Amino acid sequence: MQVKVYPLPFLNDDALDEMGNLEVPTGATLRDVYKKLQVPLLLRPVLLCSVNYEKSSLDRVLQEGDVISFFFPITGG
């Protein structure tokens, strides 16, 4: 199944396609996505990440079409 990921600049997005979609097996968790993105273990406690704009634990089981976004400072406008 496909989920959509907005990665952070220091992560690895090789597994994402151009639209940011990531292919994961059914029953995959947020932790599995972290592994694919190669999120450094030390940083995991301090990163703010949401699934469908809700705070989620790493054990959350993902559904088709879920959106995973990391919080990052922006200074547009």
The minimum distance between CB 67 and other proteins, in angstroms, equals 8
Binder to other proteins among 42, 54, 59, 64 (CB under 8 A)?
54
Q: Which residue has the tokens 């947020």?
A: 30
CB atoms near residue 52 (< 10 Å): 14
Binder to other proteins among 16, 22, 24, 28 (CB under 8 A)?
16
Nearest in space to 37 (alpha carbons), one of 19, 55, 15: 15
Q: How many CA atoms lie within 13 A of 45 on its CB side?
A: 1
64 forms part of the interface with other proteins (CB under 8 A):
no
Report the interface residues with other proteins, using CB under 8 A: 6-11, 13, 16, 18-20, 48, 53-55, 67, 69-77
